[in-house]
Chains A and B, each alone.
Chain A
Amino acid sequence: MTAIDVAGFFQGVWAQIADAEGAAGERSERWFKIAGCTLRVRFIGMNLLKVVIPALSHLETAPSKLDADLTLHCWDCKSLGMELPKAPVSIEAFKPRGEVQGLNNARFHAAFEIGPRLLSLMDAHRREAVYCVGDAANIPRYVVAEPIRGILSWFMRENGRQLLHAGAVGTPGGGVLLLGPGGAGKSNTALGCLASDLRYASDDFCAVSTDGSPVVYSLYSTGKTHEGDWDRHPFLAQLAPNLDPERVEKAIYFLNDAAPHKLIPSFPLKAILFPRKAGATCEIRPIPAVTALRIAAPGTAKLLPDAGAEVLRCLAKLVRAVPCYELLLGSRPELIPALISELLATGHVGVL
């Protein structure tokens, strides 16, 4: 097998930034504070602003005179009349979660999402990343709800945080993670809490730090549910959802526009809940840490390129650090926020 010149490939990509800048008529720069880390995003051409900004707008901050922890260069190839950088690997190198085998090591990270043709690259030493899109017109709705996820995953890991596939709700005093397989009820539970005193950090992906007492950080201010879920949470229909024209994919809520006062940027983690659609009553039951990890395991490595082992280790730390519970969703979802609030306030588990 021929050795891949990873550094040479990345060198070529940095050179393409200048080409993109030369081809672009307009540029824009935006700054974000994500889990305490500074992200500077340079838009080369304006087509990706509407992709990257909406879900992260709640974390936008003023430009800093200090260096950013990461500078991300974004461009849309088609509108600039450019091609993606030439791939330095053969087809066998492309893995299901998006990893590009041979281009990932302690310093360099690369992922490619085949359908929408999204190339994500990061050089940890340079603290620079590239988000290069084949054609912005083909970007799916789920990407707008959770943009630059691979880059955020690497960025967080470089800074001692870990992206998790989890919902998160709480108060400044503390909150819970909502973990479990797809379809278990994480999104509906998190979004259902918008009608309570609990505040919203995530319905799908958030970041956590596990040095010392664990802390949960909001990444995206978006949420997603099917329109059918409005039967259980009617107020969701009032949140100006972005609907799939074909009514197949989930509706997307941009909560920084619709309910900014309900968002929370971070909170100390007090408990982990595993929602399950079962039972006539809403109930919280303790489960052992090992059971929690066993439930969480199938979804852990999902969707995050080059992160499976780190996610598992992080989850193992979390389930040991805080109590874990099964959350039986019952038939009256409007009661769930009260159960969670009681757990957070008193440590007591209850039934409603």
Chain B
Amino acid sequence: MTAFRVNEPNVVYEIFDEEIIVVNLDAGNYYSISGTGRTIWIDLVGGCGINEIASRIQGRHTGEFDAIAAAVAAFADRLVNEELLVRAGDVVAWPRTASIEQAGDRTPFKPPSIEKYEDMQDLLGLDPIHDVDSAGWPVVKKNAG
């Protein structure tokens, strides 16, 4: 079972009560993660594997284990594809039979979602065309417009 870690130093995040703000400084994107995604992010960066997270979710939400685990795995894949998390070796195997205390007022599991904002890109992603001078410092190309 794969573990994950934050793609530091390019990625920084801040956890609020209802939402996590994640910024990929290299790519110039930022993200808002709320709902079940918030707790899954916290568990992923805390070193939990997919099955452990799915079991934890079953303590708070109703739903089939396999379906929840698949949703968590897909969410983790998305976070890796966005280069917010990187795979970090194996976690200690989580026993499926481990006891998870279930909350009395469990609600149906909703798959995690993530909102992506790309309006930082014009600030961070811009890369002007340039040449270098004889000392090696860049200069704006004369024909760069």
> A residues bordering B, Cβ < 8 Å?
83-91, 94-97, 112, 114-115, 117, 119, 288-290, 293-294, 297-299, 301-302, 308-309, 312-313, 316
Report chain A residues within 8 Å CB of B126: 96
Q: Which of B78-100 contact A (CB under 8 A)?
A: none
> Considering residues B23, B125, B127, which has the most beta carbons from chain A within 10 angstroms of its beta carbon?
B23
| Contacting pair A312 B138 (CB below 8 A) | no
Which of B14, B25, B132 contacts A293 (CB under 8 A)?
B14
A96, B124: Cβ atoms closer than 8 Å: yes
Least Cβ–Cβ distance between A257 and chain B, in angstroms: 32
A91-B130, A297-B30 known; A83 and B135 CB under 8 Å? Answer: yes
Please judge, given known A-B contacts A86-B135, A89-B136, whether A301 and B21 are in contact too, CB under 8 Å: no
Q: Which of B9, B16, B127, B135 contacts A289 (CB 8 A)?
A: B16
B121: min CB distance to chain A, Å: 9
Interface residues of B (CB under 8 A from A): 9, 12, 14, 16-19, 21, 23, 25, 30, 32, 117, 119-120, 123-128, 130-132, 134-140
Please name all residues of chain B whose beta carbon is closer than 8 Å to the beta carbon of A299 when the two chains form the complex. Answer: 123
The answer, among A88, A293, A294, A298, for a CB contact under 8 Å with B123, is: A298
Task: Please tell me if the beta carbons of A290 and B124 are within 8 angstroms of each other in the complex.
Answer: no
Contact between chains at A293 and B21 (CB < 8 Å):
yes
Residues of A near B32 (CB, < 8 A) are 294
Given contacts A114-B130, A309-B12, A316-B14, contact A297 B135 (CB under 8 A): no
Chain B residues with CB under 8 A of A85? 135
6 closest cross-chain pairs (CB), A and B: A87-B136, A290-B16, A316-B14, A308-B25, A309-B12, A302-B123
CB < 8 Å neighbour of B19 from A97, A115, A290: A290
CA distance A301 to B19 in the complex (A): 21
